[in-house]
Amino acid sequence: MSGLSVVSAGRHFARSGSSRSFTSTLVGAGRRVGMTGYFILLLLPIYWMVMMSLQTNSDILGEFRWIPESLTLDNYRTILTDDSWYSGYINSIKYTTINVVLSLAVSLPAAYAFSRFSFVGDNHLFFWLLTNRMAPPAVFLLPVFQLYQNIGLFDTPWAVALAHMLFNVPLAVWILEGFMSGVPRSIDETAAIDGYSFGRFFVRIFLPLIKSGVGVAAFFCFMFSWVELLFARTLTSVHAKPIAATMTRTVSASGLDWGVLTAAGSLTLIPGALVIWFVRKYIARGFALGRV
Partner 1 sequence: MTTTLKPRNNRAWLFVLPVICSVAFTAVLPLLMVINFSVQDIFGSNRVFVGAEWFIDVIEDPDIRSSFWRSIAFSVQVLLIQIPLGILLGLGMPKKGVLASVALVVMALPLLIPHNVVGTIWQIFGRGDIGLGGHVITRTLGFDYNYAQEPADAWLTVLVMDTWHWAPLVALLVYAGLQSIPDPYYRAASIDGAKRLAVFRHIELPRLQGVLTIALLLRFMDSFMVYTEPFVLTGGGPGTTTNFLSISLQKIAVGQFDLGRGGAFSLLYFFFIQMFCFLFFQLMRRRL
Please say whether the beta carbons of 202 and 251 come within 8 A. Answer: no
Among 25, 73, 84, 122, binds partner 1 (CB under 8 A): 122
Measured between alpha carbons, how far is 91 from 180 in angstroms, rounded to an integer? 33
Give the residue among 137, 146, 160 at the shortest CA–CA distance from 239.
160
Is residue 113 within the footprint of partner 1 (CB under 8 A)?
yes
User: What's the min distance (Å) between Cβ of 149 and partner 1?
Assistant: 12
User: What's the min distance (Å) between Cβ of 152 and partner 1?
Assistant: 14
Rg (CA), the chain: 26
Determine the straight-line distance between the first and last CA of the chain, rounded to whole angstroms.
50
Identify the burial level of 22 via C-beta atoms within 10 angstroms of its C-beta, where 0-12 means exposed, 13-18 middle and 19 or more buried.
Answer: exposed
Among 29, 48, 90, 211, binds partner 1 (CB under 8 A): 48
Among 7, 29, 43, 90, binds partner 1 (CB under 8 A): 43
- Three-class secondary structure of residue 160 per DSSP: helix
Is residue 31 within the footprint of partner 1 (CB under 8 A)?
yes
CA of residue 228 relative to chain centroid, distance: 11
Is residue 78 within the footprint of partner 1 (CB under 8 A)?
no
Among 2, 4, 64, 193, binds partner 1 (CB under 8 A): 64
User: What's the min distance (Å) between Cβ of 292 and partner 1?
Assistant: 4
Among 109, 211, 239, 254, binds partner 1 (CB under 8 A): 109
Among 210, 221, 223, 240, binds partner 1 (CB under 8 A): 223
Residue 273: CB atoms within 10 A of its CB come to: 8
Give the residue among 200, 201, 203 at the shortest CA–CA distance from 190.
201
Is residue 8 within the footprint of partner 1 (CB under 8 A)?
no
User: What's the min distance (Å) between Cβ of 2 and partner 1?
Assistant: 21
**Can you give 230-274 as a three-state secondary structure string?**
HHHHHCCCCCCCCHHHHHHHHHHHHCCCHHHHHHHHHHHHHHHHH
**Which strand (E) or helix (H) includes residue 75?**
helix 74-81
Among 210, 217, 263, 289, binds partner 1 (CB under 8 A): 289
Is residue 183 within the footprint of partner 1 (CB under 8 A)?
no
Is residue 166 within the footprint of partner 1 (CB under 8 A)?
yes
Name every residue whose Cβ is closer than 8 Å to that of residue 56 and which is 6 or more positions away in sequence. Answer: 72, 74, 259
Is residue 210 within the footprint of partner 1 (CB under 8 A)?
no
Is residue 25 within the footprint of partner 1 (CB under 8 A)?
no
Measured between alpha carbons, how far is 269 from 262 in angstroms, rounded to an integer? 11
User: What's the min distance (Å) between Cβ of 30 and partner 1?
Assistant: 9
User: What's the min distance (Å) between Cβ of 279 and partner 1?
Assistant: 9
What residues from 226 to 265 belong to the interface with partner 1 (CB under 8 A)?
226-230, 234, 243-244, 247-248, 251, 258, 261-262, 265
Q: Which is closer to partner 1, CB of 1 or CB of 271?
A: 271
Among 5, 194, 199, 277, binds partner 1 (CB under 8 A): 277
User: For partner 1, which stretch binds (CB under 8 A), given 1-9, 78-86, 203-211, 272-280?
Assistant: 272-280
